[in-house]
Structure 1
Amino acid sequence: MATDYRPERAQRLQQPQQPQRHEHQEWQEPGGHLLPPAVRAPIEGRTWREFGYLLLSLPISIAFFALAVVTISLGSGLLITFLGIPVLAAGLACCRGLGALERARARGLLRLDVGAPAPIRAPKSGLMSWVGAVLKSGASWRHLLYAILHFPWAVFAFTVSVTFWVTGWSLLLYPLWRWTFPRYLGEPGIALYGDTGGNQFYLDTPFEIGTTAAVGLVLVLAAPWLIRGLVSVDRLMVTGLLGPSTLATRVVELESDRGVVVDTAAADLRRIERDLHDGAQARLVALAMDLGLAKEKLLEDPDAAARMVDEAHGEVKVALQELRDLARGIHPAVLTDRGLDAALSSVASRCTVPVSVDVDLRSRPAPAIEGIAYFTVSELLQNVSKHSRAGRASVDVWRSEDRLMLQVTDDGRGGAALPTGGSADGSAGSGLAGLAERLDAVDGILAVDSPPGGPTAVTAELPWRG
């Protein structure tokens, strides 16, 4: 995705916030803190949740790995009798069930929300059809791969995390529990060194005790970040192997985008039909009736007929203007003939506030992208006229690698935002939501930066496809 903007555009393009659940933001909790993150990390709930995740990973991965090994071994051994195929399918189905448990565990302890893969869809009813669907499912085999790969990693992560965590807290709290050595073991403290000759070294002096606690403090402060690094590998494995595949996710996105395009096209057709019926068509019907009356009065009252023809002539001009406006709303001729520069200048001239237009393009993008860019700027300038109370506005269009960038800014009151939920009230937010959906249908992005009091900068990014 191109983000190589020209220096004079200081606005940084950011994707708008969508009403979706994402991974929990790292090391942030609501409210202010007196302690820096590095100091409070060992006592935060996030650290303990992630440590608990690593602790639970070992027994769960053992069960998962055992299931995978038994499935492969038993299924492969029984292939000669044909029983191996349903056994292997049953094992893969069990792996998918354990995968659902892993996703729930990651959601609860890691705040990582991973969607479930596509369900198994058998083309026909019956056991063998279901077995075939399970064996053909790539998600089933990815769950089996997760069971095999996660076991050695879980053993390593469990060992490292427990060693650092327990050792760090034990050494940090050593001054509090050292008294157990002389009382119950008859020794002054922890023995660091001992030999058969009776030479031994104990941590029993105040300096040694303080040094031990200091070493423990270092380990305690480092352990959360070590746990965080270990858990990041688990995040990648859960997301990559237990979630939906990239191809399946892309198919869902394309299906959603296709639905948006179809709905938008249907809405545009209804708007055109409504405009024709209520506007030009109604005016032409009235014009035909007036001309009919004028024809009847032509011999009886030529002066009245002339007045009616003159009025009809004015109605013709109005009808022609309405048809031109309607055609411009469908696809302006100036855009086809002269490109974005002339078309956007024409739009800017009709805005209620002064607008400066700067189009820096050496070539033209694909006609469909050019049309979307034109209507995006038109809609944004309408919002400026209706809602911004601005004194000036500007339109900048440029190309960045394989992306068409456009930005509309104004010095108005600000406060514009993309609604997180659907809105149908015709407000500026509703219009921006519709623009965002249209851009998303062609892999575009709409970003809004509009703090209260202004200024407002709306940036759109479209694929070039020239």
Structure 2
Amino acid sequence: MRVLKEVLRAPFAGWTWRALLHIVSGLLIALPAFVLVVTLMAVSGALLITFLGVPLLALTLVLCRGLGTVQRSRTRALLGVRVAAPEPIRPQVERTGAMALLGATLKNGAAWRHAFHAVLSFPLALFSFITGVTLWLYGWVLALYPLWHWVFPTYTDEPGLQLYGEADGSGIWLDAPVEIALASATGVVFVLFSPWVLGGLAALDRLLVVGLLGPSKLASEVRKLESARGTAVDTASGDLRRIERDLHDGAQARLVALAMDLGLAKEKLTEDPEAAAKMVDEAHGEVKLALQELRDLARGIHPAILTDRGLAPALSALRARCTVPTTLHTEIPHRPAPAIEAIAYFTVSELLQNISKHSHATQADVELWRTKNRLLIQITDNGQGGATTHTGTGLKGLADRLNSVDGLLLIHSPPGGPTTITIELPWRDPQPTHTHTRTDNGTGTGTGTNSRPGTDSGAKGLEAAR
């Protein structure tokens, strides 16, 4: 039933009329473009024995790029398909001037693809016009034939629409009621069939525009890499500014005050031992606070639990610190690459912080699993909803950072909730750990893995501070 409704609605649907207008306008543009480009190409080729053919050929290629702009605009306006403009013509960095621009134009692959489109689009546009418009026009003419067949006997000497005729006046006319009904039924079939033909022909032209008038695959990859590099640089710069601000406003200020307090305690050590002992005790408390701030800062850079135990325990620690009751369910066979672990950890951390601050939720759920070569994370909360990447910079920046590593962020957050955010990351297995041989002050040799220096002494220092 749904298919029947769609078929009956198709002749009057907006997409049918846009496809028809696209086909008609395509021929109106392709015909003069074909004549102009072929003529200029022929003249340029003939003049290549002289220098005049070279700039004329370059001018033809520039004209083809202009025609491509018109075709992309037409496709966007009528079919709703946005085709990005190709890379601009740029001469080499070390070369400037008219000759450099001329050489860059002749070497530009996008310009030659535009020229090829100008030549190839004309036969396709002509075929589409003849096939699509003829079927559409004949369909409506025959479908409405019962309404206008009276024109023939009234204003002509013929009884109806002639299907076949001879010179002696004999022939076949559609004048009987049964013939008129059959003609109308045939027209209705054509009318119902023509939208799909028009849509298919418009889709062929759309494929031609996308394949020839858009940026090349290599240029698209370069743009994607440049965008990813810019996102990575901005993220790294923001992290460095955050670390510098936290150090300056937190641990550094506290350590400066601690040094001043210890200096005063040293001066009072001989004069007032009790006051000096009290100041040393206060300084000991400041040391603990400074160590806690440094631990929090180190956890924000890269938590030790993530390095030592993996993603699932690190997310469990995040869940425990979240102010909203959160459940965690993980199904991953083994640890992914450290870079993927870090991105997943900080993404979940930021999203849980958003839930705590903005969602007004009373329950949150985090699920983590692997599907083929992708790592999937889904975070759900029963908050007020309305989360989007269009308002604010938090989710937008998170989506950009995920895109830089071929990741994906999907948000379903209707007003009133609930909110479901799905993160998709590429799964990369960790590189095998390489062992090395070390010598311990001449006492022997052994093998081991890389470890963080000073771990034992750092642990002893923390114990002494406590």
CA distance in structure 2 between the partners assigned to 1:125 and 1:312 by the alignment: 66
CA distance in structure 2 between the partners assigned to 1:462 and 1:347 by the alignment: 19
Q: Are positions 1:314 and 2:285 aligned together?
A: yes
Q: Which runs of 5+ in 1 are unaligned?
A: 1-34, 424-429
CA distance in structure 2 between the partners assigned to 1:277 and 1:125 by the alignment: 48
Shift, 1:291, TM fit? 1.5
| CA deviations over 1:29-79 (Å, ceiling 9, x no partner) | xxxxxx944334323444333212212322422222223333443333333
Match of 1:281 in 2: 252
Match of 1:434 in 2: 397
CA distance in structure 1 between the partners assigned to 2:72 and 2:335 by the alignment: 47
Residue of 459, 462, 465 corresponding to 2:422:
459
| Counterpart amino acid of residue 390 in structure 1 | A
Q: Whose RCO is larger (CA < 8 A, sep 6+)?
A: 1
Please say if residues 149 and 160 of structure 2, whose CA atoms lie closer than 8 Å, have aligned partners that are also in contact.
yes
| CA deviations over 1:236-277 (Å, ceiling 9, x no partner) | 111111122222222222222222221211111111111111
Match of 1:98 in 2: 67
| CA deviations over 1:262-298 (Å, ceiling 9, x no partner) | 1211111111111111111111111112212222222
Report the aligned-residue RMSD: 2.2
CA distance in structure 1 between the partners assigned to 2:419 and 2:66 by the alignment: 49
Give the TM-score normalised by structure 1. Answer: 0.85
CA distance in structure 2 between the partners assigned to 1:92 and 1:163 by the alignment: 34
Match of 1:81 in 2: 50
> What aligned pairs does 1:332-411 form with structure 2 within 5 A after superposition?
332-410=303-381
Shift, 1:386, TM fit? 2.1
> What aligned pairs does 1:42-441 form with structure 2 within 5 A after superposition?
42-123=11-92, 124-194=95-165, 200-410=171-381, 412-420=382-390, 423=392, 430-441=393-404
CA distance in structure 2 between the partners assigned to 1:451 and 1:194 by the alignment: 67
Specify the SS of the correspondent of 2:377. Answer: strand
CA distance in structure 2 between the partners assigned to 1:322 and 1:49 by the alignment: 63
Specify the SS of the correspondent of 1:201. Answer: strand
Tell which deviates more after alignment, 316-325 or 84-93.
Answer: 84-93
Please say if residues 384 and 390 of structure 1, whose CA atoms lie closer than 8 Å, have aligned partners that are also in contact.
yes
Match of 1:7 in 2: none
| Counterpart amino acid of residue 220 in structure 1 | V
Please say if residues 340 and 359 of structure 1, whose CA atoms lie closer than 8 Å, have aligned partners that are also in contact.
no
CA distance in structure 1 between the partners assigned to 2:346 and 2:69 by the alignment: 45
Shift, 1:133, TM fit? 0.9
Please say if residues 439 and 445 of structure 1, whose CA atoms lie closer than 8 Å, have aligned partners that are also in contact.
yes
Please say if residues 67 and 95 of structure 1, whose CA atoms lie closer than 8 Å, have aligned partners that are also in contact.
no
| Counterpart amino acid of residue 205 in structure 2 | D
Specify the SS of the correspondent of 2:330. Answer: strand
Q: Which runs of 5+ in 2 are unaligned?
A: 430-466
Shift, 1:125, TM fit? 4.2
| CA deviations over 1:313-358 (Å, ceiling 9, x no partner) | 1111111111000000000111111110111111111112332222
| CA deviations over 1:154-191 (Å, ceiling 9, x no partner) | 11101001211110111112122211211232121123
| Counterpart amino acid of residue 298 in structure 1 | L
